[in-house]
Chains A and B, each alone.
Chain A
């Protein structure tokens, strides 16, 4: 069948079709869009040049800071230590070596071995609870590789601790859980499983959750209460109390451990200089050292 289309039909079709076409954007809209776009910090060549110039100056100033403060470091600072505890065994990034050592370092129950008491645990808890000291810190237990409900296939908490702290009249029963990842990623729903277990076992205690990674990446699973912590931050937290531990039997073990974290996990060179690729991270570490030494000095004066 063939039929010629009437002019009326074609006119109507053209009219309907015109309504289907996207409307052209009005001149006022385009003008406003242009105005608002001009206010946005877009990546124009001029903006990138502005940033680049600021970055060059920032890097120069930071490298200067690093150079000055590197020269002031004490000889036993982990940053100057060429020995990595685990690299000697080709295990510098072996996750289980780190978590087991961490549990040992944090455990006041191992005081007869390391002599640190609760100093490192208190420093870590203080960071999490935003306290610069505790009037009383009691640690009930520290576990490493703790199986959930006694079944390893359900998952294992890398480090688990529990206890109670008091500060300025406040008393808190707490649980601390650390999940560390060096080169691995989370298993499917891994932190969700831990959250479920923690909810069932917390019994009203405050739960401090740490997701420890080289780059402080946020976890893919679990609730929002997991604190992303980098290994560098962990070193800095421990470094604050490091001078107080100089005479403890485990001091050099700690020194080699921290040096290993800096070299094998943070990727810092054994012989660090001011022209390191990331002077900002090194400057951040050096500020921690400077602050802790200033604090020590003021305590000495007070004593």
Chain B
């Protein structure tokens, strides 16, 4: 088992606190840490943990990305482009790429994965869960296209806008994979299992569905949101 990394699991468990301590500020701006004791020491330690968490997150997303790319290219007509780079993953904890479907001129959609926790998402987690991994796809054309993509997928996907995980009207959260330390109360999470879950989710989008989504988008062919 490869560990997801204690710094990352810790960050997810205390996301509100870590976000506040690790946020970049303007040069002349003061960090509001009212109520926090030993703030200098805590700040220094938290930023160190935050940096380590970012590296662990980028490692995790890069491996997921490879698996997702292998899936779509393995279909024989999918290619990925506009893939986010490691520097982006480190900052945003978010991987995305555009899937071009060569058999459908103008047919493409976006896929990606991120890892998050409340308060960044409005989902209630079980007490022993510290965050979630969210594989997703997105199409241009807003809610109307997303309605049709939802039908193409056959209704197995997790949620859409309003479900607490994604906010964009064209986006579909394929799954909400709980990040659950084992044993409970520890900071140990099996990274390999978490990667396998994400890739397994994308594997449910087969050749037929990929082509159907691409055809749908090609038919709508609305410009990207600027």
Contacts and interface: CB of A to CB of B under 8 A. Distances in A.
Contact of A280 (B16, B45, B122, B169): B16
A126 B52 CA distance: 37
Contacts of B88: 220
A52 B35 contact: no
30 contacts: A41-B44, A41-B48, A43-B6, A47-B49, A51-B49, A52-B13, A54-B36, A54-B37, A54-B38, A54-B42, A58-B33, A58-B35, A58-B36, A59-B16, A61-B35, A62-B35, A65-B34, A93-B167, A184-B168, A218-B91, A220-B88, A227-B26, A267-B120, A267-B121, A267-B122, A277-B118, A277-B119, A280-B16, A281-B16, A284-B32
A183 B167 contact: yes
A50 interface: yes
Interface in A260-296: 267, 269, 276-281, 283-284, 287
A48 B38 CA distance: 14
B10 A278 contact: no
B35 A218 contact: no
Given A93-B169, A228-B24, A280-B16, 16 more contacts: A42-B52, A45-B6, A48-B6, A51-B14, A55-B14, A58-B35, A62-B34, A62-B35, A156-B226, A183-B167, A184-B168, A184-B224, A220-B88, A278-B119, A279-B16, A280-B20
A267 B14 contact: no
B7 A43 contact: yes
Contacts of B6: 43, 45, 48
Interface string A205-239: 00000000001111010000001100000000000
Interface centre among B7, B167, B226 (most CB of A within 10 A): B226
Nearest to B166: A183
Contact of B48 (A40, A45, A227, A281): A40
B126 interface: no
A155 B226 CA distance: 8
B32 to A, nearest CB: 6
Classify chain A: how many residues form its interface, as a range.
35 or more
B23 interface: yes
A281 B10 contact: no
A57 B37 contact: yes
A43 B167 contact: no
A43 B52 contact: yes
Contacts of B20: 280
B193 interface: no
Interface string B98-130: 000000000000000000001111100000000
Contacts of B121: 267
A156 B35 CA distance: 43
Contacts of A12: none
Interface string A22-49: 0000000000000000001111010110
Contacts of B33: 58
Contacts of B122: 267, 269
A183 to B, nearest CB: 4
Given A48-B49, A267-B122, A58 B17 contact: yes
A283 B34 contact: yes
B28 interface: yes
